Structure 1
């Protein structure tokens, strides 16, 4: 493999792109060289793609000089906050910092407008940091995935390292069939990282925790046709000793690694160096989830839980998840009086730039693990409200209740709100 070949990162969501920037900061990765590009990134009408809009924060602060970080596989130490998970040291770690790796970022955008808008703004931040960003449409038509695969094949084969944001993505798994690089990095894709680590340790097929199998003939035929691709991805993500392949997981989640896999802690050092500290309001902010949209939690029960939290904590704002439906958000606003905020960047950046409440309450989700890192030293209290098993829908995965409980219980440096404090109608 050509040592001068770049590292190639594939992202499909705004949070994945943020975590690639965090990984690059921790790794000491450098731009790919030449003028930074936003190749093919569509601009929002009337707004520069390089500068994300912000409805609730002052102008961006100047770029501070980021502090140096150790290059060990167990990530850099945060100045305060949650203790990092334990992990074996990387076999390639050394006292001397290696030369920076060249990084190119490929965005494979979804079709929903909110995700695309946030990705466009995150791409602008990546360009501000000097990285090349390529916007590659891979959805929207039957031929789009094949066209994207053909367009990316040469770069994928030439890359010396591959960084992926979602190991469960079928398109990412398809790209892995072309990969020749011996090093693969998985940057945190939220709570799914917990399942990824557990499933690869057990040698299981990679399946999202909230997914429920459907028994239709067409679905079974599709699964059968896709099985070789899925099996190849599983082998890529579970290296055996002596193969020379290396897997690194970069995450804020309390995952356990196995085999020759190594762990680097994402403590959001780039976010803390780049933004804030935020101005704090006197109130409480609630963080929304897409548990209703994914069919896990009943919509009426969710609304009642949000109403109870609003009354109990005096909440004034609700930060919507990018996948929450407008109809659901209108119902929440009418029932609670909450101001609905649709962030134009991932919540970790929105909270760090501020203003943000002195208390932030969320249901079990990624942010109860990431916000304590991003908001270290700011005085913000992060709290997690448990999900009552009675709130789950009849179509929810059998694993859903236990998984959500584990997400809440494993969060560090957060307050826990028992389910009794936010009763749902029943």
Structure 2
């Protein structure tokens, strides 16, 4: 396991690692030291590839039981079919047949698997897409019981030291930060993990400690104090220096911190592999986990969804993978919307279609990514800002400004007047 080593904890992170790999493989000549150029024969990296059965449409949640473990099961015949949250080998089998177009990069993705079934199900499907591209995927259950973390650290210490480049999906992750303390990578690439990339770049530029934007309070509780040395060391390992280059691969508007390279993610891999989608007459709403993270009041959120659905003629609600079953049940019953639990990141679901001619979203990463993934399809993406009165009393003081910045910098979207 040498070459390029990536750590991901969510489906979107894995998608963006594939986008980075595709962009790297598509560059002329050798894009990375020690990586052979793509062979001239056979299918080029950007050519269309038959979609795996796992890349199907999202699944509607039953009104009484949205968010059950069903999303962790793939279609019949797929490696994840009928698999529970803890099923499957630690080392999934690789693709059969000729190597995929990204095989020459020598990229290995380590999935530090989360515990919730929705995320695990989407990650299994994304992992299969990655294997189809020639990427090695290692499934690591780092959160499964006592001793799992130490076992993970022992297993990954050697590959970490041998890796030429490390790609990080979530620089705020305690697991990733702990892993980074084991070695000093010469090349680091950070790919998008939602809007957190914007906060990471800003904190890196200001020399601040890494704290998620929605975290309330001082962040100096007992657990944070114990982990403070790890966070401090990890921040140094994620900063550019005399012996370290740092790249941020992003679709978001990011000011490059001093000494850091920012590379644009235009979702070329997604556009080359999926779609274009069939468009429906109505609109689709995109859900957010701002209620679950303690930022937005649930009653205000439901009222906003109801008004948006009625105003724009929406028929479907694409749930965020972290939204609770109780909240989604309430949305389905009180608004009449069809609640859909996507089995892949929304960028892939929308690109495959069918999708509404208008997609309405609250401030989130998708107001930046969907216009890129759906470029040339005629789909309009609209963003509805979060009103101050929707925020909970104990929401982070930074919440309103951060969310306003996410919406305000989305230059390819339409701004909505809520009412």
What is the TM-score of this pair, normalised by structure 2?
0.82
Report the counterpart of residue 225 of structure 1 in structure 2: 226
The answer to whether structure 1 residue 185 and structure 2 residue 189 are counterparts is yes
1:51 deviates by 8.1
Structure 1 runs not aligned, ≥5 long:
32-42, 54-64, 67-98
Report the counterpart of residue 198 of structure 1 in structure 2: 202
Deviations 1:357-382 (A, max 9, x none): 00000000000000010000000000
Report the counterpart of residue 90 of structure 1 in structure 2: none
Report the counterpart of residue 314 of structure 1 in structure 2: 313
In the TM superposition, 1:203-352 aligns within 5 A as 203-213=207-217, 220-240=221-241, 243-352=242-351
1:139 is aligned, of 140, 143, 149, to: 143
Say which SS state the counterpart of residue 262 (structure 2) adopts. strand
Contact 2:143 2:149 in 1 (8 A): yes
The answer to whether structure 1 residue 160 and structure 2 residue 160 are counterparts is no
Q: 1:51 to 1:125 in 2, by over 3 A?
A: farther
In the TM superposition, 1:336-415 aligns within 5 A as 336-415=335-414
Q: Report the Cα distance in structure 1 between the residues aligned to 2:191 and 2:143, rounded to whole angstroms.
A: 22
Q: 1:5 to 1:144 in 2, by over 3 A?
A: closer
1:142 deviates by 3.2
Report the counterpart of residue 102 of structure 1 in structure 2: 106
In the TM superposition, 1:88-127 aligns within 5 A as 101-127=105-131
| RMSD, matched Cα | 2.2
Deviations 1:38-82 (A, max 9, x none): xxxxx84764445899xxxxxxxxxxx99xxxxxxxxxxxxxxxx
Q: Report the Cα distance in structure 2 between the residues aligned to 1:302 and 1:52, rounded to whole angstroms.
A: 35
Deviations 1:153-192 (A, max 9, x none): 1111111100010000010001111133210000111100
Say which SS state the counterpart of residue 109 (structure 2) adopts. strand
Report the counterpart of residue 65 of structure 2 in structure 1: none
Contact 1:272 1:374 in 2 (8 A): yes
Q: Report the Cα distance in structure 1 between the residues aligned to 2:370 and 2:272, rounded to whole angstroms.
A: 15
The 10-residue stretch of structure 1 (347-356 or 137-146) with the greater mean CA deviation from structure 2: 137-146
Q: Report the Cα distance in structure 2 between the residues aligned to 1:234 and 1:11, rounded to whole angstroms.
A: 18
Contact 1:51 1:124 in 2 (8 A): no
The answer to whether structure 1 residue 26 and structure 2 residue 23 are counterparts is yes
Say which SS state the counterpart of residue 221 (structure 2) adopts. helix
Q: Report the Cα distance in structure 2 between the residues aligned to 1:22 and 1:330, rounded to whole angstroms.
A: 34
Contact 1:279 1:354 in 2 (8 A): yes
Deviations 1:334-391 (A, max 9, x none): 1111000110000000000000000000000000000010000000000000110100
Say which SS state the counterpart of residue 160 (structure 1) adopts. strand
Q: Report the Cα distance in structure 2 between the residues aligned to 1:399 and 1:49, rounded to whole angstroms.
A: 43
1:222 deviates by 2.2
Structure 2 runs not aligned, ≥5 long:
26-31, 37-71, 83-99
Deviations 1:299-357 (A, max 9, x none): 00000000000111010000000011111011111111100011000000000000000
Q: Report the Cα distance in structure 2 between the residues aligned to 1:379 and 1:220, rounded to whole angstroms.
A: 49
Contact 1:248 1:261 in 2 (8 A): yes
What is the TM-score of this pair, normalised by structure 1?
0.81
Say which SS state the counterpart of residue 130 (structure 2) adopts. helix
4+ aligned runs moved over 2 Å, structure 1:
43-53, 219-222
Q: Report the Cα distance in structure 2 between the residues aligned to 1:52 and 1:140, rounded to whole angstroms.
A: 21
Aligned length: 359
